[in-house]
Structure 1
Amino acid sequence: MLTPPEYRLINGRVYDAVPACLYRAHGNAQARQLASADWLVRDRRDGRYVATLHHGRARFFLRNSRPRPRADALDELLFDAAAGSGLRPVSDLEPLLAELGLDVLEYAERSGLAPVAEPVQLEYAGRDRYRRPLWLDYDAAKAWRRMRAAAGGDGVILDAISGFRSAHYQMGIFRRKLARGLTVSDILQVNTAPGFSEHHSGHALDIGTPGEPPAEERFEATAAFAWLQARAGAFGFGMSYPRGNRHGIAYEPWHWCWSEDAQS
């Protein structure tokens, strides 16, 4: 059974669970249901709302023709919540990459990247620039709060653009870009394949600063980037994709990843 909402995300295989108080409803009926709930259960594949939980009892949203909720997946989610922290084994990547015309082993060899396991639980790290809940690994969340406070003390404002992203969320990015006419090769220059993103670990952050557009190379000209270059290492953060990186990913001055080994 899920306890009353702690500020954490339970990352199940099919569904996830998040504190209901942190999320907006998509209509009046949903608003009433969320208002009386402890947890919101979502489908990891597309983010749709599946059910709410209150004192361990599930109440499913009415969806007409939408796929029926899976009771076994909900039971599995509750089991994951009781199991506590840990990493979810990397699996089910083949269908996602096959949709993109990619082979898991070939992509790993060509890119020099390895599949990234996702945490079973993640910590609430505040809100991002768009007022969405920001989820990170427990230690990365603590480091982010400390780093952001230190930057603020130096007169520099750091914004989180995004934190944890599941492999299915990453796949959604590819689908949206493909719908806009980009090719898989184009997208792979700026996004790693689903299952291979550092964002899956809960350690990575895309960082911005007020007045600057998100995830653009011009971020390197800001005081925020200069501060990160000088100070981020002391908090365990390093820039993952400098110019000419061996993975073939475009230069990303905004993408920083936490590692205990990176602290100086």
Structure 2
Amino acid sequence: MPRTALSPRQLSLRNTEAIELWPASLLRPRGSADARTLARARWVLRRKRDGRFLAAELAEGLQPLVPRLAREPGLEAALDLLDSPSPRGARAMPAALPLDRIGERLHGLGLEADAYAARTGLALVAEPDWLAFAGHDRWRRPLWLHPTAMRAWHAMRQAAAGDGVVLEAISGYRSHDYQLGIFERKLARGLALEDILAVNAAPGFSEHHGGLALDIGTPGEPPAEDSFERTPAFAWLQAHAGAHGFTMSYPRDNPHGIVHEPWHWRHAGP
């Protein structure tokens, strides 16, 4: 028998250091077996490092989706979270997850946290223990944001629409592991580390980790390109984003060593 569907207010991404708990209704099946399982599940445990589905919560109990589930790193914390109440209330706020594994991730890239922070002026950013469902991005992927940023994004997008401007989300929350994967894929393609650091903050230092940052686009424009700066959408953001609590993090000649990113906007937070 299918589990009771989650209400819109329960559509949160619940977070541990290694594993995410996703509402099954927001996941895309990766085959017929996945489709049958997801149709009966409420929550799915998803490995952060590679996005692998690990287990599904069904009416009859937890169904493993990988061999040797019991050996999965971080499983105990994820199961404890699964057994705990979901975030409730319109003003519930996330707590920060530990930053214990940042040094390990950076060491694998040949970086050291204190030295990188001193060089760039960027701060470590903890992941929230849950994020709010903020709709979908341009590619119909679930958009996860800190609840404060989610409410501000909805209000700002509606205000822009009232002025005839369409704002699209390109990306929101990204985990530390996802950011590390960006670096690993680019290094595998032969890019130099310093070149990657000019366009991507090191894992643990991206504003996207906290769920407060959004990459924003508009229809007809490629994502994350300088051409966005010449659109009516960017002009509208320059004039009105501040009233909604958003600022552009990486203007020209910013002190962080990050290229100019007219699409990247961060909310001030709670």
Say yes or no: TM over 0.5.
Answer: yes
Greater Cα shift, 50-59 or 224-233: 50-59
Distance 1:89 1:62, change over 3 A: closer
In the other structure, the counterpart of 2:178 is: 169
Matches within 5 A, 1:5-16: 5=6, 6-16=10-20
Map 1:151-170 onto structure 2 (within 5 A): 151-170=160-179
Q: Is 1:25 the counterpart of 2:34 in the alignment? A: no
Q: Does 1:120 align with 2:129?
A: yes
Counterpart of 1:139 (choices 148, 154, 157) is 148
Match of 2:236 in 1: 227
Aligned position for 2:251? 242
Q: CA-to-partner distance for each residue in 1:49-87, whole Å, 9 max, x for gaps?
A: 1011135831111458x9943542433433675687311
Unaligned runs of 5+ in 2: 89-93
Partners in 1 of 2:160 and 2:60 — Cα distance? 41
Matched to 1:162, the amino acid is S
Tell me, yes or no, if the aligned pair for 2:17 and 2:98 is still in contact at 8 Å. Answer: no
Change over 3 Å in CA distance of 1:32–1:182 after alignment to 2: same
Match of 1:45 in 2: 49
Counterpart of 2:193 in structure 1 is 184
Work out the CA distance in 1 between the residues paired with 2:131 and 2:40: 23
The SS at the match of 2:184 is: helix
Residue 91 (structure 1) aligned with residue 94 (structure 2): no
**Paired letter, 1:231:** H
Contact kept in structure 2, 1:241 and 1:250, CA below 8 Å: yes
Is residue 69 of structure 1 aligned with residue 78 of structure 2? no
Q: Secondary structure at the match of 1:199?
A: helix
Percent identity over the alignment? 53
Give per-residue Cα distances to partners, 1:174-212, cap 9 Å, x unaligned.
111112211110000010000000000100000001111
Alignment match of 1:208 (pick from 201, 217, 228):
217
**TM-score, structure 1 normalization:** 0.92
- The structural deviation recorded for 1:260 is 4.5
Question: Which residue is 2:82 aligned to?
Answer: 78
Superposition RMSD on alpha carbons, in Å?
Answer: 2.2
Assess if the C-alpha contact under 8 Å between 1:16 and 1:77 holds in 2.
no
TM-score by length of 2: 0.90
Unaligned runs of 5+ in 1: none
Q: Any conservation in 2 of the 1:10–1:17 contact (CA below 8 Å)?
A: yes
